[in-house]
Amino acid sequence: MTARTHIRVLLAAAAIAAAPPVARASEADAFENKIVPISGQLYGKGGRFELEPLAALSVDDAFYAKYFGGVRAGWHFSDFWSVAVTFQGGASQPTSSTSLCTASQGCKAATPEQLWQVPGDIRWLGGAEVLFSPVYGKVNVLASAVLHLDFSLIAGVDFIESQKVLSAAQAAQVASSGGTPGNVGAPGMHLGLGTHIFFASFAAVTLELKDYLYFTDIGNLNANKLQNQIFVELGVSFFIGQPSR
């Protein structure tokens, strides 16, 4: 190869190197850089009302399990941000942890007088919350059905009404008079995670996990203690109005 050829090759190589890089699919994905894989949210929420009847079940309960029904109404500012108000209430029952067992007599349920001394018997709660939904996705199930869903982070403030927690002496006094402990309300807050699984442009299944935090007086300890109550909420959301986009 002559010096002239060397110079030509170098000049040509420099010219090619200076040219703009060629867009090229990688070996891993022939479609890489060609199209955006998710081109848009098929089910838009921005500018729409959301109305949701829901059922809620408490988990990780120490003394009382709760079975609530409720409703939530929300407004979506965009596909990513929304606010909502919610109310729920219902029934509760003592957990199996309140059974008292002895070696000679077996196990028996705790008396009402004993149950009045422990926290967690929430009667109803209502609140307002902000939802941030940064994640929208599509799921391929068994290479056939495609589900559309989003995920949300939830934070809110609440008012929580629960049965008053008595001391042993107060419980004995109320029991002897044939009364009940009564209820007490407290401000609270909640944090949670949620998902919408869309099955139509106007409807979705909503599943949420929320941790409610509030303070209540514990009679036997003569102290105000932080309570921690986890709820799983399942509902059907109906979207009203046309998406803003």
Partner 1 sequence: MPSISMRAPLRTLSWLLVALPLAVHAQEMPGLDLSSPAKDKGKVAAPSPTAKPAPAAEPGTPLEKAVGVPGEADAALEDRVKAVQRKGFIKQNRFQLTAFVAPTVNDAFYEKLGVGGMLAYNVQDSFAVALRGAYWFAFKSQYVKQGAFAFQSQLLSSQLYGTAMLDGIWSPVYGKFAWLGKSIVHFDAYVIAGGGLAWSATSGAPRNEGPHVAGDLGAGIRFYPNDWTCLDLGLVGTFYADQKDTALPGNIQKVVAITLGVSFFVPTRFEYYYP
Burial of 190 (0-12, 13-18, 19+ CB in 10 A): buried
- Within 13 A of 21's CA, how many CA atoms are on the CB side? 3
Q: Which of 114, 203, 213, 238 binds partner 1 (CB under 8 A)?
A: 114
Neighbours of 163 (CB within 10 A): 21
CA distances from 70 to 52, 67, 83 (A): 8, 10, 17
Tell me if 234 contacts partner 1 by CB under 8 A. no
State how beta strands 183-200 and 203-218 pair.
antiparallel
* Residue 28 lies near partner 1 (rule: CB under 8 A): yes
Site mask for partner 1 (CB under 8 A), range 155-194, x = bound: -------------x--------------------------
By CB under 8 A, is residue 29 in contact with partner 1? yes
The Cα–Cα gap between 189 and 110 comes to: 30
Among 1, 37, 179, 182, binds partner 1 (CB under 8 A): 37
> Where along the sequence are the contacts to partner 1 (CB under 8 A)?
2-4, 7-8, 11-12, 15-16, 19-25, 27-31, 34-42, 44, 59-63, 79-80, 97-98, 100-101, 103, 110, 114-115, 117-119, 134-143, 146-147, 151, 168, 218, 220-221, 225, 230
